[in-house]
Amino acid sequence: MTTTILSDEQRPPGFPFRGPGVAARAVPFAVVAVLAEVSLALPPGLQSPAAAVVSVVLLLAMAASFALPWSRLSAWVTVLLPLACAGWALALIFAAGATSGVGVVILVPLAWAALFHRRWESGCVVAGIVAVEVITSLVPVAVADAVIVRRVLLWGLLGALLSVAAHGLRDRIARSQRETAVLQEQLREATVAQDRDRIAAGLQDEVIQLIFAAGMSLQSAASLSGQPFVRERVEAAAGELDKALRLIRDTVFGLEQRLRERGLRQEILELCGGLSPAPEVSFAGPVDGALPPGAGTRLVVMLREALNVIGQDAVLASVGVTAGDVACVTEINATPLPHAADWAARGWDGLREQAAVAGASVDLAPVADGVRFTWHMPLIASGTR
């Protein structure tokens, strides 16, 4: 038997007589009730034919109640069926005799209410059962001898019913516990992801910038020193800072990259991580999912060529990729070296042609302490061919 565990808010109108699994709920109880009626034919036979007729009428009424228009009835009406079942048990006891062993059927409404009804309804059923027991106790009875078969039959049926129902509840509880564990794991992963994003943002905004600035300062100081051993030690310290910067970047963004497939963000990080000194890399917006795979590949190719051209005669300061609503904007900031007076005029024609093929626009403009190279790639490339 499959039980259905629903909160009061989840119950459809007329539950448990409506909704998914109604047959699985009703059939086991119906089998027990019908066999209890059949057991009246066992010795010592009927003690009250009128009570037997009442029990059959109540049983048929309970079966017919499943066809009622429950959506148009009040919610409290559902308690009438287990109360009617308690009345059916009382009539059955009178029909067979109080000592016939049929009184065990009083557990049927109790089990039904405990499994499928609300707490207050179960309380009403318990009160009805107490009333049945009081009434039964007040009626004089004769000792019956030949009731062993009926008792074995009914106790066996009810034991099987309660056992199956209990195992169904255990299965549902175990399934709920597994689902809860999965949800808790997902919540934990989401919390860790948020913490990683927060740590990544903090490192990018403060620590990485400080290390990058310290490395640039050491490289400038090395060129001012006239003693070779001083220059070597300063350059070595700058190299160590550069390694530390790469390690921080790889650690933070490696944790941040949680997709099984390599994304655009990871490609750009690995590309910039191979440069020395490593530029500052920043992302904004859903970079991984902003561009289709083909456009993302073209973006990485253009970025690699641009970094190669710039890296010949300039120091890369930063690389930024921003995924907006209509375009993905890539920005490279660099500081030209003193001996590269005309570096900006070299190698840009090929990049402009590639950008035009991809439907992107290119801009090269001077900024404070250097030059900024920018291109806008539309999220739906109109120039793809």
For residue 343, give the amino acid letter. Answer: W
Residue 139: CA count within 13 A, CB half-sphere: 20
Domain end, chosen from 125, 146, 167, is at: 146
Give CA–CA dist 24/322, Å, rounded: 56
Q: Looking at residue 303, which CATH number applies to its domain? A: 3.30.565.10
Residue 237 carries which DSSP code? Answer: H
Residue 376 in domain: yes
Retrieve residue 67's tokens. 């066809």
Q: Is residue 155 part of a domain?
A: no
Residue 310 · residue 297 · CB < 8 Å: no
Domain membership flag for residue 5 = no
Residue 203 maps to a domain: no
Assigned domain for 298 exists: yes
Give the C-alpha separation, 185 to 278, whole Å: 36
Write the CB contacts of 364 (distance below 8 Å, at least 6 apart in sequence): 344, 348, 371, 372, 373, 374
- Number of domains making up the chain: 2
Q: 374 near 328, Cβ under 8 Å?
A: no
Provide the 8-state DSSP code for 17.
S
**Could you give the angle at which helices 22-38 and 49-64 cross, rounded to 10 degrees?**
170
Cα–Cα distance measured from residue 365 to residue 380, given in angstroms and rounded to the nearest whole number: 26
Residue 320 lies in a domain: yes
- Domain endpoint, select from 124, 146, 168: 146
pLDDT tens for each residue of the chain, 385 residues long: 444 445 555 566 778 888 777 888 888 889 989 988 998 888 778 888 999 999 999 999 999 999 998 888 888 899 999 999 999 999 998 898 877 778 888 888 988 888 888 888 888 988 988 888 888 877 765 555 555 666 677 767 776 777 667 777 777 777 777 787 778 777 777 776 676 666 666 666 566 667 777 777 776 776 666 677 777 777 777 777 777 777 776 655 554 444 334 677 878 888 887 777 777 888 887 777 777 766 777 788 788 878 877 776 677 778 888 888 788 888 888 877 655 555 555 556 667 777 777 778 888 777 777 778 888 888 764 443 3
Angle between helices 348-357 and 293-313 (to 10 degrees): 170
Does the residue 63 lie in any domain? yes
85 in a structural domain: yes
Q: Which of 146, 162, 193 is the last residue of a domain?
A: 146
The owner of tokens 């190299």 is: 239
Please give the residue range of the domain that contains residue 349: 263-385
If we measure between CA atoms, which residue out of 26, 9, 128 comes closest to residue 79?
128
Sheet with 327-336: strands ordered across: 280-284, 314-323, 327-336, 370-378, 361-367
In one-letter notation, the amino acid at residue 79 is V
Give, rounded to a whole angstrom, the gap between the first and last alpha carbons of the chain: 62
- Give the helix ranges, DSSP H, for the chain: 22-38, 49-64, 80-96, 107-116, 119-138, 148-202, 208-224, 228-256, 264-273, 287-290, 293-313, 348-357
pTM beyond 0.85: no
CB 321 within 8 A of CB 364: no
